[in-house]
Amino acid sequence: MIKEILNDYFNAWNEGFTSKNGDRIRAYMSKSFVGYWAHSNIDKPDPYYYNYDLNTVLRQMDNAEKSFEVFSIIERKNGEEYLILGRETNLIKGEPFTAQCMFVWRNEDNKWKLLREYIELER
């Protein structure tokens, strides 16, 4: 079940790279969403929230594709949340950018929503 949601979520990203519209991506996010993004050249991750400007992010990405390899899925809170660890690959103009990721998905009103994400680029 949650693997299908993840697949649909990453398909929404790939559609967004083409359309430059983030509405379908945002539909997967909890209104309480917070994400953290970092890489080896910074000391503190940059947080972003539900209302961050997805369309600008998508417009910056030409010829891009996103994929995700699941390492582990842990059910918690009696199946109301999933903690997912894995590796994300963003292929941008043919160059792979990989990151280690942790996602927290929560069941909100019978819909799975992304509550938190932690993304650490491998570079």
Q: How does pLDDT run across 92-108, given as a tens digit for each residue?
A: 989 999 999 999 999 99
Q: Report the predicted TM-score, pTM, of the whole model to 2 decimal places.
A: 0.93
Give me Rg for the CA atoms of the chain: 14
Do the bridges between strand 29-38 and strand 111-121 make them parallel or antiparallel, or are there none, so unpaired?
Answer: parallel
Q: Is the pLDDT of residue 25 over 90?
A: yes
Chain segment 30-75, per-residue pLDDT in tens: 999 999 999 999 999 989 999 999 999 999 988 899 999 999 999 9
Q: What is the CATH number of the domain that holds 107?
A: 3.10.450.50
Sheet holding 46-49, edge to edge: 46-49, 29-38, 111-121, 95-108, 81-92, 64-76
What pLDDT score was predicted for residue 2? 95
Q: Which helix (H) or strand (E) holds 50?
A: none
Cβ contacts of residue 43 below 8 Å, gap of 6+?
none
Q: What domain count does the chain have?
A: 1
User: Domain limits at 22?
Assistant: 2-121
The predicted pLDDT at position 113 comes to 98
